[in-house]
Amino acid sequence: MNSNNKKTEHYFAKPGVANIGLTKEDIKTSFLEKLFYSLGRIPVVATKNDFYTSLALTVRDRVFRKYVKSLEQYAEEDARGVAYLSAEYLPGPHLGNNLLNLEIVEETREALAEFDLDLDELLKEEVEPGLGNGGLGRLASCYMDSLATLGIPSIAYGIRYEFGIFKQEIQNGWQVESTDKWLQKGNTWEILRPEISFEVKFGGNTEHSRDENNKLHIEWIPDSEIKGTAYDTPILGYQSNSIILRLWKAEATESFDFAAYNLGEYYRAVEKKMRSENITKVLYPNDENLSGKELRLKQQYFFVCCSLQDIIRLHLLQGRKLETLHEKFTIQLNDTHPSIAVAELMRLLLDVHHMEWEEAWKVTKSTFAYTNHTLLPEALEKWPVNLLRNLLPRHLELIYEINSRFITEIREHDFTGEQISRMSLIDDRGEPTIRMAHLATVGSYKVNGVSALHSGLLKEEVLKDFAQLWPEKFTNVTNGITHRRFLAVSNPLLAGLITEKIGKGWLTNLDKLKSLESFVNDEDFRRKWMEVKLENKKNLAAQIKEFTGFEINPEMLIDVQVKRIHEYKRQHLKVLHILSLYMQIKEDGQNNIPPTAFVFAGKAAPGYFMAKRIIKLITAVGDLINNDPEVNKILKVIFLPNFSVKLAQHVYPGADLSEQISMAGKEASGTGNMKFALNGALTIGTLDGANVEIREEVGEENFFLFGLTTEEVAERKKAGYHPYKIYSENEKLKRVLDFLLSEELTKGDTELFRSIYDNLLNQDPYLLLQDYQSYVDQMENVYEIWKDSQKWAKMSIINVANMGKFSSDRSIKDYCEKIWKVKAVKA
């Protein structure tokens, strides 16, 4: 066989082999084959889920067809590649996206119609993998889409949680959590790779010995061992390559099971097995807050350990030397969650592959790059030294050694003692802990923040000493979103209108949207633009009806805040504003407020008291307003339960106004802000995260700005902030705040919102009261402009036209140029 014969093309060219074409007839044939041969069903007894699965399998074949071609190309070019390590992914439903990327949406629709099936109905069947909490996980998935589309040799690693982010229900106005059994009906998109599996050790101790040449040997004698097995999901790019999302599942190793079984200790064996498998059972539901739990550290180490062994396997498979790992691979650490990788790679290189320290350290710090996603102190990971000693004793030794060499290095510079102790990897001010962000920074060749503002603050605050030491290490890559999922797939009407006007080049180059600006003065175009928005609002209204039972008039201004519930994101600021409108109607007899539906969605971490109370506040205000005939024609307040990627795809297209109202300096970037603007919503926001750049792009006259800047926040706090003073000096605000304790709102349980009330009046750490008036004033302006629908439409078009920068394709190109030095390889 010559090498040409080995190419996949050769096999696919043979008649009758793997006929996986893309025409309507091909799709029909495959669809029936899947139904008969893979599922053993006939149409009369098949359920909707059977039809969905047959279609998903049909599409999966075609995606894999693209994947093998991509793989071949990557191998042939011996290209440098990226390994992306992330504890979270939120891919959303795969089917619709894959159809778009294969460009077979219409063919599939027609093929199904011939069997009397409706594509949209089958799309609804898909259960999405909720393997992330929010922004961080969704960003990773947007990046997968762009890596594939751009043809960047890459592989993404993570954890195959059996239960993803909890399902949220609202009962009696409160959030109630239940388990997300996303695998219950199986997962068509993944394939198990039983042969790609690695051992992961925990606990025990280390033994140090010297050989005859006085060389030190360190052996880790663990007290337990488990196995990680790979599950691969292909992620297809648009008209392009495909990459693999490789998720690890924990399993018991046969050996220790077996030993216990022989002793007749069946139950002990089963218990151990279950305990090992617990590692990948459930996603920790805290976004930007530490759980501090041992199991969480086990999860982090588990997936990092499997992924690094796999990367080394792939590297050696190509006949390369381990000393060149950093030349062929760069490993991106998505936040500190995988940062134990720095110590683990050192362990693998030193203890398993017997490299010398200097060489191993050189390879390690030339391989990793670290993305920081938050400045919130409660989100910066620190692990107790004692926990590490118990769970990963060898890694603790390595971290101490890395730290001691690092401290020796910085002593040679002009750092003060205070700076040195601030920079140390070990915080020994109380119970000694490891600062994972410092480990990631010391062990990486680049560190980036996720918006211009955040990257700046990172250098000035959290990592300022490191930025002084290594200024060239720090850079910014502003986040981006995939416009293919968040416009082409989720908003086909707007995508269609855009394509009609400017062609479909925007699908691969979002900057092309700029040319929409030349149509802002075209009345006919504006009319069509508004018609599309109205259709999308009707669709959102239908979702609201389905999930909450409430009806909203789609002509209303739809004002939306969807994101995790967190005090710094200030959902309660929005609530205060809604209450101010309510009182204007009820008490001041005001009747010129434009009809508005306020829509909220988002999950609260189950242990986050204030966040859960904010949800109750939103629903209580909703109860009051939606049931008051004097008010409910003008205002509606909706809380959409169980926010997910699937639901988000209906929300963004139907929104008129996007709420991005965090206290300046707290939201690292935000990506929802980009999704709204891309779908034609206007933004009311602070100068926080990527809002700053969005405003720069769309122009200040097309953005509703309010609130203090980051510097002003700092000054305000430094000068002494007294929320009570603001409360007592602003009568209308006082009226609204006092209403939180009213019988009407609380239905007699007047202490219900006492904690929120007291917090705002006494501490108000996120300056709601400070920014309140500015927000209310800017909302007046929003209403003025909303009344001029032509002006609103123009602003909406200009917003969309200027979203080019926020494509994740741009972000990935930035990563390639500024950090990874990886080039595209197109299949």
- Candidates 126, 288, 567, 764: give the one binding ligand H53 (CB under 6 A): 288
Name the residue nearer to ligand H53 (CB basis): 331 or 379: 379
Residue that the structure tokens 């960047």 belong to = 152
Name the residue nearer to ligand H53 (CB basis): 364 or 374: 374
- The active-site residue out of 24, 296, 485, 563 is 563
**Helix pair 731-739, 768-787: axis angle to 10 deg:** 100
The residue among 409, 414, 228, 216 whose CA lies nearest residue 307 is 228
Instruction: Give me the least distance between CB of 287 and ligand H53, in Å please.
Output: 5
Nearest residue (beta carbon) to ligand H53: 135
287 is an interface residue for ligand H53 by CB under 6 A = yes
Name the residue nearer to ligand H53 (CB basis): 135 or 653: 135
The residue among 30, 32, 33 whose CA lies nearest residue 20 is 30
569 part of the active site: yes
Instruction: Give me the least distance between CB of 381 and ligand H53, in Å please.
Output: 9
Residue that the structure tokens 């908003």 belong to = 491
Name the residue nearer to ligand H53 (CB basis): 151 or 670: 670
Name the residue nearer to ligand H53 (CB basis): 139 or 244: 139
How deeply is 195 buried, as exposed, middle or buried, from its count of CB atoms within 10 A (0-12, 13-18, 19+)?
A: exposed
Burial 698-729 (b: 16+ CB within 10 A, else e): beeebbbbbbbbbeebeeeeeeebebeebbee
563 part of the active site: yes
C-alpha 825/C-alpha 827 separation (Å) is 7
CA atoms within 13 A on the CB side of 683: 38
Name the residue nearer to ligand H53 (CB basis): 332 or 374: 374
- The active-site residue out of 28, 473, 569, 603 is 569
Burial 490-524 (b: 16+ CB within 10 A, else e): bbbbbbebbeeebeeebbbebbbbeebeebbeeee
- The active-site residue out of 53, 108, 596, 671 is 671
Whole-angstrom CA distances from 812 to 77, 385, 473 are 20, 36, 18
684 is an interface residue for ligand H53 by CB under 6 A = no
Instruction: Give me the least distance between CB of 690 and ligand H53, in Å please.
Output: 7
- The active-site residue out of 296, 347, 373, 650 is 373
**Site size toward ligand H53, by CB under 6 A:** 19
Name the residue nearer to ligand H53 (CB basis): 97 or 479: 479
Instruction: Give me the least distance between CB of 335 and ligand H53, in Å please.
Output: 5
Considering only the stretches 147-155, 188-196, 664-672, 790-798, report the one whose residues sit in contact with ligand H53 under the rule CB under 6 A: 664-672
Instruction: Give me the least distance between CB of 375 and ligand H53, in Å please.
Output: 9
441 is an interface residue for ligand H53 by CB under 6 A = no
- Candidates 669, 679, 686, 759: give the one binding ligand H53 (CB under 6 A): 669
Give the β-pairing of 368-371 and 242-252: unpaired
C-alpha 36/C-alpha 43 separation (Å) is 9
For ligand H53, the binding residues in 126-165 under the rule CB under 6 A are 133-136, 139
- Candidates 423, 450, 661, 733: give the one binding ligand H53 (CB under 6 A): 450
Instruction: Give me the least distance between CB of 379 and ligand H53, in Å please.
Output: 5
C-alpha 441/C-alpha 431 separation (Å) is 22
C-alpha 774/C-alpha 708 separation (Å) is 9
Name the residue nearer to ligand H53 (CB basis): 126 or 335: 335
Instruction: Give me the least distance between CB of 92 and ligand H53, in Å please.
Output: 16
Name the residue nearer to ligand H53 (CB basis): 28 or 138: 138
Considering only the stretches 256-264, 635-643, 667-675, 696-704, report the one whose residues sit in contact with ligand H53 under the rule CB under 6 A: 667-675
- Candidates 149, 671, 778, 796: give the one binding ligand H53 (CB under 6 A): 671
Instruction: Give me the least distance between CB of 485 and ligand H53, in Å please.
Output: 16
C-alpha 541/C-alpha 121 separation (Å) is 18
C-alpha 134/C-alpha 523 separation (Å) is 39
C-alpha 561/C-alpha 600 separation (Å) is 5
C-alpha 290/C-alpha 374 separation (Å) is 12
For ligand H53, the binding residues in 452-481 under the rule CB under 6 A are 479
Instruction: Give me the least distance between CB of 588 and ligand H53, in Å please.
Output: 37
Token pair listed for 14? 């043979």
58 is an interface residue for ligand H53 by CB under 6 A = no
Asked whether 607 and 53 are in contact (CB, 8 A), the reply is: no
Token pair listed for 359? 């060489």
For ligand H53, the binding residues in 336-395 under the rule CB under 6 A are 373-374, 379
Instruction: Give me the least distance between CB of 630 and ligand H53, in Å please.
Output: 39
Asked whether 571 and 660 are in contact (CB, 8 A), the reply is: no
Q: Residue 329: helix, strand or coil by DSSP?
A: strand
335 is an interface residue for ligand H53 by CB under 6 A = yes
94 part of the active site: no
H or E segment at 562? strand 557-562
Considering only the stretches 141-149, 159-167, 304-312, 661-669, report the one whose residues sit in contact with ligand H53 under the rule CB under 6 A: 661-669
Catalytic residues: 373, 563-564, 569, 671, 675
**Residues in the site for ligand H53, rule: CB under 6 A?**
133-136, 139, 287-288, 335, 373-374, 379, 450, 479, 667-671, 689
